[in-house]
Every structure is written in structure tokens, then in C-alpha cells.
């Protein structure tokens, strides 16, 4: 049967067909749907872990324990999981273990543009990279075969376009796998120096064998169309090259991006006058070629930064400049915004009003940084809001001026240790935990605070208050507030930023897009009362605009959150009749 599948959905299908038993992941765009889709297969146990390191270790434990296992994450998630990643090559596995990592060229939804292929080389693990949904299925299955053949974890590299493009997949059957018999192998699985020293040699032996394998593997294919131009490429970049050059070039498509096949590349390159390496982000293949004396064109013509497209290749390699129609008008940008009814809006409005400096974090609430709220001073990476603020305040003092803001899921991911550090080292910063009862930005995934698992079963509902108490915050300085109650929020913020100790304010209100969350009645402007003062515009709600010097509310978008009536000093905002 044929099906039009998202790349991530096809990875999940591959996991199903490969007889995978165990999946543990942390959500992150563009990787999230792999795990959401895999959870739909009854035959596979699947879970959300609190962070990527935990997910990786859980999956590694499953693979060492004898069942085929997978963990999925975005590129920055692999940074979090890097510690076990580097040791997993040493121990190897019992049953197959594949790590799915999705890079985000163009930073559609990320804080940086890193190239995960470097991890494969650094951790000495084989890496495969599919170019379409059908290859996602096939490469996942091949990755498990390789993993067990070479006793090593295998990394599956995805990119945003590969993850979020749909193409046609022919569905196959699941090949059921058995849980392998348990064997106690301390020299393989206890990575203390005496054992690890021996295992390093094993890693190098495996790598040498993998290099030989890459020379003949069907993952690396040559399409010889004659001509003078040869293109070496991998993953989705192949699609762009093929779109632009068609049969006017020959291709070496590398399905295995680490280790690379030196002989195969050299033989291919020798046949063509001009050899171009087409790869997004870093010159990974290009540098390999150059280090082996193979002359190629690459980043001297094509960009290091940003996402590629066929248009970009046609322009830079062939000088194409297509005709098009353009309006003379300036088209205003449309940046993403906090949704109507978003429980974060009142928080950032109040922080902005009190002129507090805000150490922000990763999630929907990063959007508190944009106009007109402009409420955030810094955002680095998951969990850094609390830990980095601690350092800032230690050098500057001025603790009353700063707060850190972190979401519930991000707090569970890597905020807890930062808070422990604040308490332990006598910091007195205020942490706002925005508890919207879900992992929001990635599209509503459950986490240890939501009381539900990925499989939809009920889970123990961890308490933020209890966690913060256990981390050493004084219970009287752990305050919960409905962030849409602006006067109460402001009062608590003033009190806790003035407190001479670490404090936590839990802003608790579910995401407005969450199923089952009741919308309030839409509100409207009483034009007779509206004086056009624009006070309601300060909250940056996409429903409110000024038309003919009076505020106007788009009733079809309004979620009835009750925030804007609190802004109006003349009582011009009321419920729709």
C-alpha cells in the first residue's frame, strides 16, 4: 500500500518495520513527529523523557538490555545528550540502537544552525542521511542492520525539509525481533579506565570496518549521466541539485555521511572536469575531499549559512534569474506572535511594565521578546534562564531588577539543576515558571508535570511546588498565581523580587490552544466609550487593532482571555452580547 508520508512519519514507519521495541525522546522541532507517530504503533513502547540525555540513556539501556531502541531529538538536543553519545560507541550495544537527530538549516525554529555530522565524526559513530520519505523507511531499517553488524549505535541525520516534507512511501511489514538473552559483560559495559582503554581499540577497529563497508554500501549511489559536471551530495541537498541539473550532471549521492568512502569519492571525482559538493551548513564532505587531495567546488561558491533551495543553486551555479511579478508596495513583516488568549501575554506585559530585566528561555514564551512587549533581555539555550541569571546577578548585584522566566517543560528539562545552584550558592534571584500544563512550542507534548504519558495513559502528576521546596526554596517564597490576574501578578512580582532569598513564582494557566480549555466570550469595543488611548495595544494581542482612531477587536480570533478589559481605563471593552 502506498501512503503520502511526512519524513518524520516515515522514520516512525521504519522503526515499526524494523521491529523496534523501545523509543524515548524529548520533543524538538523539527524532530517531534517521529516520536508522536511511533507512539501510535501498539507494538512499540514509546515515551517522552524529561530531556535528551535521559532519553538517550533510556534508549541505550534498552539496546544494551537486548531490545531494538531509538531516541529522537533536534540538533541542540544532541548537545544535551552528548555525554552518553560519546561513550555509547565504546560500549556498543546488544540489540540495534539508532539515534535520530534533526538539524534545522535556516533556523525555522531554533537558536542556532549547527551541523550534527560533526558529532558522528567526533563520537566515531556511523551516520546515515535520507533524502525523502521512502529513504527514511529504508535507511532506518539499514541503520539497525548496521548497528547490530558493527556493534555500534548509528545516527540518523534529518534536516527540517527532510523531516517536514511529504512524499510517497510503499508500506512494508514489521519484522518482529526477539529480546536478546542477557549476558553480563563487565569489560564491555563498565566504562572505567581499564576497560575503556581496551574498548577504544575496538571502536577504531569498527570504524575501519565501517570505512570499508562505506565503499561498497548501496547507501552510496552513483548516477552517471556522462558530461563534465559531477555533483557529490547527500540528504535533501541531493533533491535541489537534481532539480536544477537533472541529467546535465552526474551524481554521487552519499546516503552514509560518516564514515565517508574515500576511494568511491576519488573515483567519481576523477571522471568529471568540474566536481561540486552540494551540502547544507558546514563543508563536511568538502573538507574530507580536500584533505584527500580531491579538488572540488563547494563553500567558495555556495553559502555556509542558511537553508539551501533549488532556486539558490540555480542562481549561484548557473546564474539563473527567473522572471517574476512584484508589487511596488512595502510588504510589512509578519513575525510569529503569542496566540490570542496566550497565558504568557500578561506575564510579559507586567515584566515590561515593571521594567524588570528578563533572562528568558526556550519555548513559545521566547516570543515575549518581540514588539510591543520587548520584555526579554537574553535567551541562550534550554534551562539557561535560571543558571545564567545567577551569574549575572553575582557579578552585578541589583538582584531586584532581574527575573528568569522558564516554561514548565523546560524547567523539567534542565531548569531544576539551575535552581538548585541558585539556592546552594546563596543566590536570591526570582524564577518565574510559566506552567501552561503542556510542552507548547513543539505542538503539545506531555511532560512529567501534565499527568499523562505519550501513550495517553495517566501518570503521577509531579508537583512544581514540591520540587521547588525540595530544591531548597523556602515554601513561603514559592507563590502560585493566575497570570491573567494582572494586579495579583504585579503585587507578587514586587514582593518576591524584593525578597532577600531565592524565590519562585509559578504562573499557572493552561495553553489557550489546549484541547478542553474553555474559551471565554469574545469581547468587543464600545465605540462610544473608546477614547483611542491605545492602552489595550500594549499587550500585543493580534486581535486588537486601531481603525479610525478607535480600538477594534476581531471577534473571530478573540479567545476571551479577559486581559484587555483590565487594560482599559474607560471601561470600553465588554463581552459580546
Task: Identify the residue among 38, 338, 351, 449 touching another protein (CB under 8 A).
Answer: 338
- Minimal distance, residue 387 CB to another protein, in Å: 23
Q: Which grid coordinates are listed for 416?
A: 531544576
Is 164 a binder of another protein (CB under 8 A)?
yes
Binding range to another protein, per CB under 8 A, among 65-73, 140-148, 369-377, 385-393: 369-377
Q: Which grid coordinates are listed for 553?
A: 477587536
Over the Cα atoms of the chain, what is R_g?
Answer: 27
Q: Which grid coordinates are listed for 217?
A: 554500501
Total of chain residues touching another protein, rule CB under 8 A: 63
Task: Identify the residue among 306, 391, 443, 571 touching another protein (CB under 8 A).
Answer: 443
184 CB contacts (<8 Å, ≥6 apart)?
Answer: none
Binding mask 493-512 for another protein (x = CB under 8 A): --------------------
Binding range to another protein, per CB under 8 A, among 292-300, 328-336, 391-399, 477-485: 328-336
Is 537 a binder of another protein (CB under 8 A)?
yes
Nearest-angstrom CA–CA distance, 236 and 132: 7
Task: Identify the residue among 326, 458, 460, 577 touching another protein (CB under 8 A).
Answer: 326
- Minimal distance, residue 44 CB to another protein, in Å: 22
Nearer to another protein, 373 or 416 (CB): 373
Is 376 a binder of another protein (CB under 8 A)?
no
Is 310 a binder of another protein (CB under 8 A)?
yes
Nearer to another protein, 334 or 518 (CB): 334
Nearer to another protein, 2 or 518 (CB): 2
Nearer to another protein, 236 or 566 (CB): 236
Nearer to another protein, 273 or 323 (CB): 323
Chain centre to alpha carbon of residue 109: 7
Task: Identify the residue among 240, 251, 284, 411 touching another protein (CB under 8 A).
Answer: 240
Asked whether the bond before 30 is cis by omega within 30 degrees of 0, the reply is yes
Q: What is the dihedral of CA 22, 50, 425, 392, to 10 degrees?
A: 120
Nearer to another protein, 299 or 315 (CB): 315
350 CB contacts (<8 Å, ≥6 apart)?
Answer: 486, 489, 490, 493
Nearer to another protein, 457 or 556 (CB): 556
Task: Identify the residue among 441, 473, 478, 558 touching another protein (CB under 8 A).
Answer: 441
| Residue appearing with cell numbers 570496518 | 209
Nearer to another protein, 2 or 184 (CB): 2
Nearest-angstrom CA–CA distance, 39 and 396: 47
Task: Identify the residue among 309, 359, 414, 503 touching another protein (CB under 8 A).
Answer: 309
Nearest-angstrom CA–CA distance, 33 and 30: 8
Binding mask 121-140 for another protein (x = CB under 8 A): -----------x--------
Q: Give, for 84, the enclosing helix (H) or strand (E).
A: helix 82-91
Is 546 a binder of another protein (CB under 8 A)?
yes
Q: What is the 3-state secondary structure (H, E, C) of 363-405?
A: CHHHHHHCCCCCCCCECCCCCHHHHHHHHHHHHHCCHHHEEEE
Task: Identify the residue among 83, 243, 267, 482 touching another protein (CB under 8 A).
Answer: 243
Is 337 a binder of another protein (CB under 8 A)?
yes
Is 325 a binder of another protein (CB under 8 A)?
yes
Is 161 a binder of another protein (CB under 8 A)?
yes
Answer for the pair 503, 542: CB distance below 8 angstroms, yes or no: no
Task: Identify the residue among 65, 86, 167, 191 touching another protein (CB under 8 A).
Answer: 167
Specify burial of residue 382 (Cβ count, 10 A radius: 0-12, 13-18, 19+): buried
- Minimal distance, residue 165 CB to another protein, in Å: 4
Q: Give, for 463, the enclosing helix (H) or strand (E).
A: none
Q: Give, for 144, the enclosing helix (H) or strand (E).
A: helix 133-149
Closest CA to 243 of 231, 254, 258: 231
- Minimal distance, residue 537 CB to another protein, in Å: 7
Backbone angles phi, psi at 3, to 5 degrees: -145, 145
Task: Scan residues 90-109 and list those touching another protein (CB under 8 A).
Answer: 108-109
Is 551 a binder of another protein (CB under 8 A)?
no
Is 1 a binder of another protein (CB under 8 A)?
no
133-150 in b/e burial notation, b at 16+ Cβ within 10 A? bbbbbbbbbbbbebbbeb
Backbone angles phi, psi at 169, to 5 degrees: -125, 135
Determine how many CB atoms are found less than 10 A away from the CB of residue 216: 11
CA distances from 408 to 3, 381, 436, 438, 509 (A): 36, 15, 7, 7, 11
Determine how many CB atoms are found less than 10 A away from the CB of residue 516: 5
Beta partners for residue 47, in sequence order = 24
Is 550 a binder of another protein (CB under 8 A)?
no
Is 523 a binder of another protein (CB under 8 A)?
no
Residues comprising the chain, all counted: 577
Task: Scan residues 11-30 and list those touching another protein (CB under 8 A).
Answer: 29-30
- Minimal distance, residue 164 CB to another protein, in Å: 5
Is 428 a binder of another protein (CB under 8 A)?
no
Task: Identify the residue among 61, 65, 172, 372 touching another protein (CB under 8 A).
Answer: 372
- Minimal distance, residue 443 CB to another protein, in Å: 7
- Minimal distance, residue 277 CB to another protein, in Å: 18
Task: Identify the residue among 149, 209, 316, 370 touching another protein (CB under 8 A).
Answer: 370
Determine how many CB atoms are found less than 10 A away from the CB of residue 36: 21
Nearer to another protein, 328 or 456 (CB): 328
Residues in contact with another protein by CB under 8 A are: 2, 4, 6, 29-30, 32-33, 108-109, 132, 161, 164-168, 236, 238-240, 242-243, 309-312, 314, 322-339, 364, 366-367, 370-372, 441-443, 537, 540, 542, 544-546, 554, 556-557
Amino acid at each position: 500500500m502506498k501512503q503520502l508520508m511526512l519524513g518524520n512519519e516515515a522514520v516512525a514507519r521504519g522503526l515499526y518495520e524494523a521491529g523496534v521495541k523501545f523509543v524515548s525522546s524529548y520533543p524538538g522541532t523539527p524532530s517531534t513527529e517521529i516520536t508522536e507517530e511511533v507512539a501510535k504503533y501498539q507494538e512499540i513502547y514509546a515515551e517522552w523523557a524529561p530531556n535528551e540525555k535521559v532519553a538517550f540513556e533510556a534508549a541505550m539501556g534498552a539496546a544494551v538490555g537486548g531490545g531494538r531502541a531509538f531516541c529522537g531529538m533536534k540538533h541542540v538536543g544532541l548537545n544535551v545528550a552528548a555525554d552518553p553519545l560519546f561513550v555509547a560507541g565504546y560500549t556498543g550495544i546488544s540489540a540495534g540502537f539508532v539515534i535520530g537527530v534533526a538539524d534545522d538549516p535556516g533556523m525555522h525554529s531554533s537558536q542556532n544552525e549547527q551541523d550534527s555530522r560533526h558529532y558522528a565524526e567526533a563520537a566515531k559513530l556511523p551516520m546515515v542521511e535520507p533524502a525523502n520519505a521512502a529513504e527514511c523507511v529504508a535507511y532506518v531499517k539499514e541503520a539497525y542492520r548496521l548497528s547490530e553488524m558493527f556493534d555500534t549505535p548509528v545516527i540518523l541525520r534529518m534536516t527540517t525539509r527532510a523531516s517536514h516534507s511529504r512524499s510517497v512511501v510503499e508500506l512494508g511489514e514489521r519484522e518482529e525481533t526477539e529480546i536478546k538473552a542477557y549476558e553480563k559483560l563487565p569489560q564491555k559495559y563498565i566504562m572505567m579506565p581499564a576497560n575503556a582503554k581496551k574498548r577504544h581499540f575496538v571502536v577504531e577497529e569498527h570504524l575501519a570496518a565501517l570505512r570499508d563497508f562505506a565503499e561498497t554500501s548501496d547507501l552510496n549511489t552513483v548516477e552517471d549521466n556522462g558530461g563534465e559536471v559531477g555533483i557529490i551530495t547527500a540528504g535533501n541537498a541531493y533533491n535541489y541539485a537534481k532539480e536544477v541539473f537533472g541529467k546535465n550532471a552526474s551524481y554521487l549521492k552519499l546516503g552514509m555521511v560518516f564514515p565517508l568512502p574515500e576511494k568511491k569519492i576519488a573515483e567519481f571525482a576523477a571522471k568529471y572536469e568540474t566536481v561540486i559538493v552540494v551540502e547544507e551548513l558546514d563543508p563536511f564532505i568538502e573538507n574530507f575531499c580536500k584533505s584527500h587531495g580531491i579538488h572540488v567546488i563547494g563553500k567558495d561558491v555556495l553559502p555556509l549559512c542558511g537553508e539551501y533551495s533549488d532556486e539558490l543553486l540555480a542562481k549561484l551555479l548557473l546564474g539563473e534569474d527567473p522572471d517574476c511579478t512584484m508589487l511596488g508596495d512595502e510588504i510589512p513583516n509578519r513575525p510569529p506572535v503569542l496566540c490570542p488568549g496566550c497565558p504568557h501575554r500578561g506575564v510579559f506585559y507586567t515584566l515590561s511594565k515593571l521594567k524588570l530585566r528578563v533572562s528568558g528561555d526556550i519555548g513559545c514564551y521566547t516570543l515575549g521578546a518581540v514588539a510591543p512587549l520587548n520584555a526579554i533581555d537574553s535567551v541562550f539555550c534550554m534551562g539557561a534562564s535560571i543558571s545564567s541569571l545567577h551569574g549575572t546577578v553575582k557579578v552585578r548585584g541589583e538582584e531586584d531588577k532581574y527575573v528568569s522566566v522558564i516554561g514548565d517543560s523546560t524547567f523539567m528539562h534542565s531548569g531544576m539543576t539551575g535552581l538548585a545552584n541558585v539556592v546552594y550558592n546563596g543566590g536570591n534571584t526570582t524564577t518565574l515558571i510559566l506552567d501552561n500544563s503542556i510542552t507548547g512550542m513543539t505542538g503539545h507534548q506531555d511532560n512529567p508535570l501534565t499527568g499523562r504519558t505519550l501513550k495517553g495513559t495517566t501518570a503521577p502528576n509531579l508537583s512544581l511546588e514540591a520540587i521547588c521546596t525540595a530544591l531548597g526554596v523556602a515554601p513561603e517564597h514559592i507563590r502560585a498565581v493566575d497570570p491573567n490576574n494582572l494586579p495579583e501578578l504585579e503585587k507578587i512580582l514586587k514582593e518576591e523580587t524584593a525578597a532577600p532569598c531565592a524565590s519562585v513564582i509559578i504562573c499557572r494557566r493552561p495553553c489557550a490552544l489546549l484541547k478542553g480549555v474553555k474559551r471565554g466570550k469574545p469581547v468587543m469595543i464600545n465605540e462610544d466609550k473608546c477614547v483611542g488611548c491605545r492602552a489595550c495595544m500594549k499587550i500585543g494581542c493580534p486581535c486588537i487593532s486601531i481603525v479610525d482612531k478607535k480600538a477594534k477587536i476581531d471577534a473571530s480570533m478573540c479567545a476571551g482571555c479577559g486581559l484587555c478589559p483590565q487594560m482599559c481605563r474607560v471601561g470600553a471593552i465588554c463581552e459580546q452580547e
